[in-house]
Homo-oligomer: A and B are copies of this chain.
Amino acid sequence: MVTLREVAERAGVSIKTVSRIVNGDPAVNAKTRDSVQVHLQHLNYVPNQAARLMRGVQSSVYGLMTDAVATTPYSVDIVRGAQAALKEQNQTLLIANSNGDVEQEAEFWRMFRAQRVSGVIYASVFHRPHELGQPSYNDSIILANCFASASDRPSLVPDDEAGGYTQAEYLLKRGHRRIGVLTLIPQIDATRLRGLGIRRAFKDAGVGFDESLDQQGMIGMVHGEQMVAFEAAVKMLQNKNRPTAIICGNDAVALQVYSAAAHLDLHVPQDLSIMGFDDLKVISENLRPSLTTVALPYFEIGRRAVELMRESKNQTEGWSPKILVPCPLVERESCRTLN
């Protein structure tokens, strides 16, 4: 690997002068600069980050720790958003995947410390409270898609309550009155919050909510969920007084509802309107009719996590520790207006 010293020798100047040029220090003669630049180019010098780091320069590497988010189709967008924000400053992401294993996680915290990363985004697949074990790393940590109930660590979470409201409001405005709901597992916060939002929308519209139409689309434990939306939907739709629309906990649930409709020879949206959540494009855009859904703002969360981290370094004053990111409606073709 080419070092400053080698370049300096070739160019016949001191190491420090080359260093100055590499770092854009203006205190160097234009003629010298040009002649050294040639050698830099020619030898293809690339500064050794490790050496820089040792001199106390802030690392250009950030850490992303996650239970599974980086490797799950649901939420890669957090990674994309973070990378987009990082790219502008030529910074990068070191990605660690604990798969929910606490011991692994501890190992990764050490690793981040060993690498002296500039900050860490801790992202969860599900919106839920999460206590960081022993981070053994105390610098800037931003929580994405989860929050630490017992601490004041800054966190970014989707506004699930408003998202649920959006789902229901959209259907209510289009004349739907009997609306089924197929939720995610109740252990995660998203489920509870969206449920609240949905009920608030019904109340605001002056429509009664039939609790018997509120069913689980998934059962089981966190990290061990099982999909039962198809069966639940079939049952719900076989009922003589079947709903005209179904609100789904995510787009995969919606996919099962499409399947249930097809199974019963019901057409979407003529016979049944379907509302998703997540906007997982591989599903929402490819279904026919395409899926009207509420988007999880994962890209935005990733982007803002990086911004937040940068800000948190400059200022030390208090700030809102839990930021709600809105979930925009993505209107497509799966919901009809009743007349």
A-side interface residues toward B, CB under 8 Å?
1, 44, 46-51, 53-54, 60-61, 70-74, 76-77, 79-80, 83, 87, 90, 92-97, 104, 107-108, 110-111, 113-116, 136, 227, 230, 252, 255-256, 258-263, 265, 267-268, 280, 282-283, 285-289
Contact = CB atoms under 8 A, between A and B. Distances in A.
Contacts of A107: 90
A73 B71 contact: no
Contact of A71 (B76, B94, B113): B76
Nearest to A111: B92
Nearest to A72: B76
Contact of A282 (B80, B252, B259): B252
Nearest to A110: B46
Given A83-B97, A94-B61, A104-B87, A48 B288 contact: no
Given A252-B282, A286-B256, A48 B79 contact: no
Given A50-B53, A53-B50, A80-B71, A92 B95 contact: yes
A72 to B, nearest CB: 7
A133 to B, nearest CB: 14
Contact of A286 (B252, B263, B265): B252
A336 B116 CA distance: 56
Contacts of A288: 230, 256, 259-260, 263
Given A71-B80, A90-B107, A227-B285, 10 more contacts: A1-B116, A44-B136, A46-B113, A54-B54, A61-B94, A70-B70, A70-B79, A230-B288, A256-B286, A258-B259
